[in-house]
């Protein structure tokens, strides 16, 4: 699962009139930047994080979609075929349980490069209201993330990002792109509990804090 991430640089993101502000604690139901071909060529738009399928009668939203079942789940299959997107991110958070508490950790590229989360999008309309929304695709965790959680965002390598957005790309090739991102290209550090509240959004949330003695030593 990916339930919280950051985007604090606009590296390689063409905004074309969209405003940009660094964000350090992006949460479900919030508006997020998404890159996709919305029918007139690839562009960046602001969508709601939490995919509502166009046919939904109850407006239920899905923040994540498992790569292994994209073609099987009615909520995701059509969007996977027709409406793929990239959700840029600077990094993401996961939590490790310690007794009764969960300790947050921040994952990012070891070079601090912007990550390209694979995603899908759709537009839901009801009673004159339309919401265009997205979900982050997840894969099994790599060895680094796996110390904390069994899932992680599907992160597209630079060489396949164009093909991911190309509507003519073969489905087999698309599924091959959805592999766990190499652990050797990532790093992590523990952060403070301020990130637990989506109301908090400042650069201080990414500051490393000292791990308790005996905790998470296998991560370092």
- Distance, in Å, from the CA atom of 27 to the CA atom of 199, rounded to the nearest integer, reads 9
Pairing of strands 186-190, 151-153: unpaired
Burial of 13 (0-12, 13-18, 19+ CB in 10 A): middle
Terminal C-alpha separation, the chain:
22
Catalytic residue among 68, 72, 78, 94: 94
> How many DSSP H helices and E strands does the chain contain?
3, 12
Catalytic residue among 2, 85, 101, 147: 2
Buried b (16+ CB within 10 A) or exposed e, 143-170: ebbebbbebbbbbbeeebbeebbeeeee
- Distance, in Å, from the CA atom of 44 to the CA atom of 113, rounded to the nearest integer, reads 18
For the question of residue 94 being annotated catalytic, the response is: yes
Report the chain's C-alpha Rg in angstroms.
17
Longest distance between any two alpha carbons in the chain, whole Å: 56
For the question of residue 134 being annotated catalytic, the response is: no
- Distance, in Å, from the CA atom of 43 to the CA atom of 13, rounded to the nearest integer, reads 9
Would you name the residues annotated as active-site residues? 2, 94
């Amino acid at each position: 699962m990916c339930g919280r991430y950051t985007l604090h640089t606009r590296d390689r993101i063409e905004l074309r009139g969209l405003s940009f502000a660094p964000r350090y604690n992006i949460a479900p139901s919030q508006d997020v930047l998404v890159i996709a071909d919305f029918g007139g060529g690839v562009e960046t738009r602001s969508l709601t994080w939490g995919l509502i399928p166009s046919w939904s009668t109850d407006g239920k939203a899905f923040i994540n979609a498992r790569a292994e079942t994209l073609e099987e789940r009615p909520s995701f299959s059509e969007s996977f075929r027709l409406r793929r997107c990239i959700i840029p991110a600077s990094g993401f958070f996961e939590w490790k349980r310690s007794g009764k508490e969960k300790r947050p950790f921040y994952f990012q590229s070891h070079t601090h490069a912007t990550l390209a989360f694979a995603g899908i999008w759709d537009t839901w309309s009801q009673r004159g209201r339309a919401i265009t929304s997205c979900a982050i695709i997840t894969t099994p965790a790599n060895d680094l993330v796996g110390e904390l959680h069994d899932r992680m965002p599907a992160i597209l390598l630079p060489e396949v990002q164009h093909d991911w957005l190309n509507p003519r790309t073969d489905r087999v090739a698309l599924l091959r792109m959805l592999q766990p991102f190499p652990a050797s290209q990532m790093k992590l550090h523990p952060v403070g509990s301020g990130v637990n509240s989506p109301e908090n959004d400042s650069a201080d949330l990414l500051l490393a804090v000292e791990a308790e003695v005996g905790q998470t030593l296998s991560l370092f």
